[in-house]
Structure 1
Amino acid sequence: MSAPTPPTGPLAGIRVLDLTAVVLGPLATQTLGDWGAEVIKIETPTGDLVRNSGVFRNRGMASVFLGVNRNKRSVALDLKTPEGAAVLRRLIPTADVLVTNIRPAGMARLGFGPEECKALNPRMVFAVATGFGQDGPHRARPAFDEIIQAASGLADIVGEEEGQPRFVPSLVADKITGMALVSAVLAALLHRERTGEAQLVEVPMLETITAFVAVEHQGGHAFDPPIGEPGYARLRHRKPAPTKDGWMTLLPYTAAHWRAFFTEAGREELIEQLGVNDPVTRNANIDRVYAAVAAIAPGRTTAEWLAVCERLDIPATGFSSIEDVPEHPHLKAVGMFQPMDHPSEGALRMARPPTRFAATPAGIHRHPPRLGEHTAEVLAELGYDPAEIAALAERKIIRRG
C-alpha cells in the first residue's frame, strides 16, 4: 500500500492533532489512527527526534519512527514563529482532540496551553502526557522511559535477583503510558458525546507505571500498617524451564493443572508434599514447586512437553527469538505482519493493528509520512493559496515533503 485508503475503524470522522514526539505520544496517536481517526502530526521543521532512531534506508525514516507513525499526515512548521503559530490556530477549530507530550510550560510558551486552545475550540479534548503529575514537585522535570522505570520501582524488581536495578529492554513505560493515553482520550470523547463538554486530560508517566507495578507488587504493603514485604513471590521464582533440548515456559496454574503435571511426570507424591491442591499452601511453597518443575522438565524434549501440555490443557510454549517471531505459526496464520509498499522506503513489513472490530475494522490506510509530506496539502485545506505556501516554505516557517 502506498496511496491512502479511506479509514474504516470506529473512530472514522474524528480529527486528532498530534503534537507528540518520540514513542509514548506517537504510539497513542497511531492507535487512534489505526482505529479510524484522521491524525495530523505536527512536527518541527527538523522533525520528530525518533525519525533517526533505529535502522534506516534513508535518514529521517528509521525503524522506530515507522513503528509508531503510520496512519498520519505530517505537517512541518515552526510554532515559535507567529506565522507557524497562526497555522495551528487555524487547525485547532477543526479538531476533536489535541494530543501532546510537550511539557505544559512549553505549550504555554508557544501560546497553546489548555485555556488558549479552549478559547479557539471549546469542544476539543486537550490530552497531555506528562512525566510527572502537574500537582507534584517534579512536575517540570523531563522524563524518558528509563527515568520512569527507575522511579516506579520497575527496574528494581527486574534486577532483584542480580542485586542491582535493571531496565526492561523495551520502552515499556512509554508504551504502557501511551495505551493509557488512548483510553483517556476515548473516555473524554465519550463524555463529550454524552454531555457536549470537552475537558483537559492528563496522563502522567510515573503515576501510570507506579499503578501498573503496584497491582501485584504491593504485596504486604497493600495493608496499613504493612503485614509483609512488598513484591509478589510467585513472579520472583518464574524462570524458563530447561528441557532435554532447549527451553520452554511451562506454567501449570490451577490445582488441576498441577495434579495433572505431576501425575504425567510420575511424581504424584509431590501433589501432597508441595500442597499444590491449596492455592495458599502452593504459593507459600512456590520456590519448591518451581524447583520441582526445573528438575522434572529436562526429562523430555520441548516438543514432547508441548504435546503433553496441549493434551492436558496446561499453559505452555516454546521460546521465540525476536528474528523468528514473524514465523510463529499462530502469528503467521492471523497475518500479524503485513507488507507495505512505501513510496520512498520501498518494501516494509509492519505489525498490523492487533485489535479486531467486527463492524468497523481497524487497519493501515496511510504509510508513515515523510517529514512535511502533507504540509502543503493541509495548508491548502485551511485556505492558504499556493503563493502563501511557497512564501512560508521560502522563509523556512514550514517544510514541505
Structure 2
Amino acid sequence: MDPREQSATPPGPLAGVRVLEVGSVIMAPYAGKILRDMGAEVVKAEPPGGDIGRRIGLLGPGGTSVLSLNLNAGKKSIVVDAATQQGAEEMRRLIGWADIVLTNVLPHRRRRFGLSWEQVEAVNPRAVLVTGQGFASDSAHADAPAYDDVVQAASGLADSYRLRDGVPRYSPYVVADKVCGMSMAQAALAGLHSRGATGTGCWADVPMVDTMAAFTLVEHMGGQTLTPPEGEVGWSRVLAPEHRPHRALDGWVCVMPYSDANWAQFCELLERPDLLTHTHLVDNRARSAAPATYEAVLADYAAGRTCAQIEAECGERGIPAHRVTRIDAVREDPYLSSRPLLEHAVHAEEGEYVHVGSPVVFSGMDRPGPADCGREDADRAEVLRMLDTGGEEAGRTVGSSSHEC
C-alpha cells in the first residue's frame, strides 16, 4: 500500500480535525506538520510552481528538498492558482471544508487568496483562521517583508548575543520560524477550544516579531522589567562567555550542579568542602551572579575525565550531566535512536531517509507513522473528490457571528 494512503487519516488526538495550510518555506508548514503529527488531516494548497521550500537547501536524488521531506510528510497537496476564477472557487471550497486555516501570506496579499478574515468568515463562520507574518496585521509594518534573520534582529533576539559576545548574532537555526510555527499551532488549538464554547470561529494573528520578543524578554528583560528600571537587561547566568559545554578527554560535556543540593554533592565528588563556603559559590544566587568562577570549577573537573566517567559519577549523585550529542551522530545516539522521533522511512522517489516525527506521545493513542511528501498537486483528484462530498458546506450551518481570538 502507498505510504500516503496508510496515513490518509492518521490516528491521534486531532483525528477528524481538518486543516488547510496556505503557507511557504517553514513557519506555516511547520505549524501544519505539528497538527498533522497529532492526527489532523492537512491539505496543503500551493501556488503554481509549488512551495519554494520544496527547492531550498539540500535536495534528494529525486529533487525534493530534505526540508520538505519532513515538513510536508503526510499532507495532501493541491495547486491552486487564486488569480483565476477556477482557483478562487477551489480556495473557497477548501476554506469551507477546513476547521483550521493556516497561512503566512502577507496581509496585503491575503484578500487575493480569499484569506482575509472577512472572506474566511463569510465562507465558513466556524473556521479558525491563524495568520502569521513578520509584524502584526493591524500595524503600520504589517506588509514589511521579514524573514527569520529580520525577525531575530527586530525582536531583540540577535541583540542577546551582544550581551554575551559584544556583537549581535543570528541563532544557527531558524528559531523564529519554528517558534512562531509552534505558536501558530498553539493558537489554532486555542481557537478550536473557543469554537467549542461559542459555536463560532475566530481569527488569531501571530506576529513573528511580537512572538520572538516575548520569547526573548522572559529572562532578558532583567532589571528593565521593573518601573522605574532597576539594573541591567539580561540574565547573567546564561550570558557569561564561560557558560558553555566543557571539554572532556574525549568530547564535550554539559555538567550542571544547579541546585544547592546538587552543588553539595558535586563538592563532595571533588573532595572540595572549601567550595561550599566560597563567597561566589555558597548558594545558587551567588553562583548565578559569578558564572565565571562557577564555570571554571566545572571546566577543571571535566578536563580530566571522559564523558562516560562524568555521566557515571554525576549520575550516581543525581547531578544533571550529559555529553554533547553531535548532530551528525543523532542516528546512532543510544537515547534518540531508541525513540520513535527518528523513524526509518522510504520515499517513493527519494529513497531511504530519516523521518523526524512528533516528540509528543499520547497515552492510549497510536502515532502517525512516516508518510511520503508527495509532489505539488499530487493529490488534486483526491482533494477535489473529498470536497465533492459536501464537507465544505459544514460551516454554513452556524450563524455568522464571531470574534477575534
Structure-1-length-normalised TM-score: 0.91
Q: Specify the alignment match of 1:300 in structure 2.
A: 305
> Of the candidates 345, 366, 381, which is equivalent to residue 350 of structure 2?
345
Q: Specify the alignment match of 2:5 in structure 1.
A: 4
Task: Point out 4+ residue stretches in structure 1 off by more than 4 angstroms.
Answer: none
Aligned to 2:204, the other structure's residue is in SS state strand
**Which runs of structure 2 are paired with 1:231-380 in the superposition (5 Å)?**
231-237=234-240, 238-364=243-369, 366-380=371-385
Code of the aligned partner of 2:3? S
User: For the structure 1 residues 37 and 335, does the alpha-carbon distance in structure 2 shift closer, same or farther, using more than 3 Å as the test?
Assistant: closer
TM-aligned CA deviation for residue 274 of structure 1: 3.8
Instruction: Tell me how far apart the structure 2 counterparts of residues 130 and 246 of structure 1 sit (CA, whole Å).
Output: 40
Aligned to 2:3, the other structure's residue is in SS state coil
Segments of structure 1 that go 5 or more residues without pairing to the other structure are 385-401
Instruction: Tell me how far apart the structure 1 counterparts of residues 135 and 318 of structure 2 sit (CA, whole Å).
Output: 43
Q: Specify the alignment match of 2:401 in structure 1.
A: none
Q: Specify the alignment match of 2:75 in structure 1.
A: 72
Instruction: Tell me how far apart the structure 1 counterparts of residues 96 and 307 of structure 2 sit (CA, whole Å).
Output: 59
Aligned residues: 384
Residues 234-290 of structure 1, C-alpha deviations (whole Å, 9 max, x = no match): 001211122233321111110011111122112221110145443322322232111
Instruction: Tell me how far apart the structure 2 counterparts of residues 287 and 299 of structure 1 sit (CA, whole Å).
Output: 19
Instruction: Tell me how far apart the structure 2 counterparts of residues 278 and 316 of structure 1 sit (CA, whole Å).
Output: 19
Mapped contact 2:251–2:324 kept (Cα < 8 A) = no
Code of the aligned partner of 1:244? L
Aligned to 1:368, the other structure's residue is in SS state coil
Q: Specify the alignment match of 1:395 in structure 2.
A: none
TM-aligned CA deviation for residue 60 of structure 1: 5.0
Instruction: Tell me how far apart the structure 2 counterparts of residues 246 and 180 of structure 1 sit (CA, whole Å).
Output: 35
The question of 1:130 aligning with 2:141 is answered no
> Of the candidates 95, 108, 112, which is equivalent to residue 111 of structure 2?
108
The question of 1:83 aligning with 2:105 is answered no
Segments of structure 2 that go 5 or more residues without pairing to the other structure are 390-405
> Of the candidates 219, 223, 226, which is equivalent to residue 220 of structure 1?
223
Code of the aligned partner of 1:202? D
Q: Specify the alignment match of 1:16 in structure 2.
A: 19
Mapped contact 1:10–1:361 kept (Cα < 8 A) = no
Instruction: Tell me how far apart the structure 1 counterparts of residues 227 and 149 of structure 2 sit (CA, whole Å).
Output: 30
TM-aligned CA deviation for residue 59 of structure 1: 5.9
Instruction: Tell me how far apart the structure 2 counterparts of residues 162 and 277 of structure 1 sit (CA, whole Å).
Output: 27
TM-aligned CA deviation for residue 362 of structure 1: 3.2
Instruction: Tell me how far apart the structure 1 counterparts of residues 301 and 351 of structure 2 sit (CA, whole Å).
Output: 49
User: For the structure 1 residues 3 and 136, does the alpha-carbon distance in structure 2 shift closer, same or farther, using more than 3 Å as the test?
Assistant: closer
User: For the structure 1 residues 195 and 187, does the alpha-carbon distance in structure 2 shift closer, same or farther, using more than 3 Å as the test?
Assistant: same
Q: Specify the alignment match of 1:25 in structure 2.
A: 28
RMSD: 1.8
**Comparing 268-277 with 124-133, which one deviates more in the overlay?**
268-277
Instruction: Tell me how far apart the structure 1 counterparts of residues 4 and 287 of structure 2 sit (CA, whole Å).
Output: 57
Q: Specify the alignment match of 1:195 in structure 2.
A: 198
Residues 336-386 of structure 1, C-alpha deviations (whole Å, 9 max, x = no match): 3111222222222112211001133332363212111001221233349xx
Instruction: Tell me how far apart the structure 2 counterparts of residues 258 and 63 of structure 1 sit (CA, whole Å).
Output: 43
Instruction: Tell me how far apart the structure 2 counterparts of residues 174 and 217 of structure 1 sit (CA, whole Å).
Output: 20
User: For the structure 1 residues 360 and 64, does the alpha-carbon distance in structure 2 shift closer, same or farther, using more than 3 Å as the test?
Assistant: same
TM-aligned CA deviation for residue 35 of structure 1: 0.9
Instruction: Tell me how far apart the structure 2 counterparts of residues 354 and 381 of structure 1 sit (CA, whole Å).
Output: 30
Structure-2-length-normalised TM-score: 0.90
Instruction: Tell me how far apart the structure 2 counterparts of residues 295 and 321 of structure 1 sit (CA, whole Å).
Output: 22
Instruction: Tell me how far apart the structure 2 counterparts of residues 245 and 321 of structure 1 sit (CA, whole Å).
Output: 13
Code of the aligned partner of 1:143? A
**Comparing 248-257 with 366-375, which one deviates more in the overlay?**
366-375
Mapped contact 2:72–2:373 kept (Cα < 8 A) = yes
The question of 1:56 aligning with 2:59 is answered yes
User: For the structure 1 residues 3 and 201, does the alpha-carbon distance in structure 2 shift closer, same or farther, using more than 3 Å as the test?
Assistant: closer
Q: Specify the alignment match of 1:396 in structure 2.
A: none
Aligned to 1:208, the other structure's residue is in SS state helix
Aligned to 2:21, the other structure's residue is in SS state strand
User: For the structure 1 residues 315 and 79, does the alpha-carbon distance in structure 2 shift closer, same or farther, using more than 3 Å as the test?
Assistant: same
TM-aligned CA deviation for residue 98 of structure 1: 0.9
User: For the structure 1 residues 123 and 208, does the alpha-carbon distance in structure 2 shift closer, same or farther, using more than 3 Å as the test?
Assistant: same
User: For the structure 1 residues 245 and 58, does the alpha-carbon distance in structure 2 shift closer, same or farther, using more than 3 Å as the test?
Assistant: closer
